[in-house]
Structure 1
């Protein structure tokens, strides 16, 4: 199906990562011009931007000033900016229950997974207020829907995106751009670098897929294709404020016994 994304300008935050890089390539395949945002992965971001004919742009998304500068920079580099994919985030690998969690870790998680998305959306919507159109896709997580023991900080931040934030934002958009849209994607287990080694273990794979109707983990391209679909006004022009879970039918309970 035609997406009508040809020639559109797209900014993907965290664009050099697993889901991010698949998303950049998916938009490029539709003929969009893509800005690959990065904070520390400069070599990967520049290589990917070169591959797809896009641009690599650096910013610390926890810095208000740097985010406020990122959107105008993307507009200048691409010639226009129609889509924001707020993909960047951070999952702290150390398992820490609430009663042992330092306030510093909680605040860092909020800064990297919630404040950063707020800042990106705010800056992008200042642009939308001028152009009178645009689409936002925010990347949350199944942790935000079902929780994640030992990672309540991450789950709380991602849960906020998939509930009060998107529901408020979709109503506010009508004040500045009646046809602008915002939606959320919640990936589940996905074969990205930080998970790949563990997912090669059959016992581990069996355990994590016990709550999933489809007993397999996603590839980054599975997530990317949904993001592109939601960004397309042609395909999803009457969809806003929705949360789409891409997790093989995951539930908050065990479906398979073994």
Structure 2
């Protein structure tokens, strides 16, 4: 099926990461023009952009001035901007229950995972206000649906992206773009580089798939194809305000015992 994304301008935040890179490649395969946003991973971002005829642009998404400059830079580089994929996020590795978590960590996690998306969407919607058209796909997490013990900060941020923020934005975008849409994708455990050292551990695989009827980890490409489908007005033109979970049917209960 033709997604009708050929020639469209797409900004992917965190585009050099595992899921972000797959999203960039998936849009490029559809003929879209892509800006690969990065913060620290300059070499990866530039290589990915060069490989797919895109452009790499740096910004600290917790910096208001950086984000406000990112969207105009993307428009200038591509000549147009139709889609924002708000993918960038940071998983705080240490396991910290609420009673030992510092306020500094809490604030940092929300800044990197919630404030960053607010700023990105705000900057993009200011552009949409001038064009009357636009589409946002937000990447959240199953942590925002089921919680994540030891990572309540991350779960809280992702829950907002799959809840009140999403539901508000899908109504607001229609005020400035009659056919504008906003949706959220919640990946579950996915075989991204930060999990690479665990992928050969059978006990780990069982532990993270025991709540899934499909007893396997997802791949970045699984998430990317869902994002592209939501970004396509032809494929998903009547879908907005929805949360799509890409997690093998994950539930908040154990389905598979040893």
Aligned to 1:160: 160
1 CA distance for matches of 2:174 and 2:222?
Answer: 30
1 CA distance for matches of 2:206 and 2:94?
Answer: 22
The CA deviation at 1:200 is: 1.2
Structure 1 gap segments, 5+ residues each: none
Cα displacement string for residues 185-228 of structure 1 (whole angstroms, at most 9, x for unaligned residues): 00000000111211210111011110001000011000000000
Cα displacement string for residues 7-60 of structure 1 (whole angstroms, at most 9, x for unaligned residues): 000000000000000000000000000000000000000000000000000000
The DSSP-based 3-state class of the residue aligned with 1:92 is: coil
Aligned to 1:12: 12
What does 1:78-227 correspond to in 2, within 5 Å?
A: 78-227=78-227
Structure 2 gap segments, 5+ residues each: none
Aligned to 1:232: 232
The answer as to 2:42 corresponding to 1:47 is no
1 CA distance for matches of 2:129 and 2:33?
Answer: 21
The DSSP-based 3-state class of the residue aligned with 2:99 is: helix
When the two structures are aligned, how many residues end up with a matched partner? 258
Give the 4+ runs in structure 1 shifted more than 2 A. none
The DSSP-based 3-state class of the residue aligned with 2:245 is: strand
2 CA distance for matches of 1:203 and 1:113?
Answer: 29
The answer as to 2:66 corresponding to 1:56 is no
CA RMSD of aligned residues (A): 0.5
Cα displacement string for residues 135-156 of structure 1 (whole angstroms, at most 9, x for unaligned residues): 1000000000000000000000
2 CA distance for matches of 1:174 and 1:94?
Answer: 40
2 CA distance for matches of 1:46 and 1:239?
Answer: 33
Bigger mean CA offset, 167-176 vs 6-15: 167-176
1 CA distance for matches of 2:3 and 2:83?
Answer: 13
TM-score (norm 1): 0.99
The DSSP-based 3-state class of the residue aligned with 1:19 is: helix
Aligned to 1:247: 247
TM-score (norm 2): 0.99
The DSSP-based 3-state class of the residue aligned with 2:163 is: helix
The CA deviation at 1:75 is: 0.1
Aligned to 2:65: 65
The DSSP-based 3-state class of the residue aligned with 1:100 is: coil
2 CA distance for matches of 1:26 and 1:5?
Answer: 11
Aligned to 1:2: 2
The DSSP-based 3-state class of the residue aligned with 2:218 is: coil
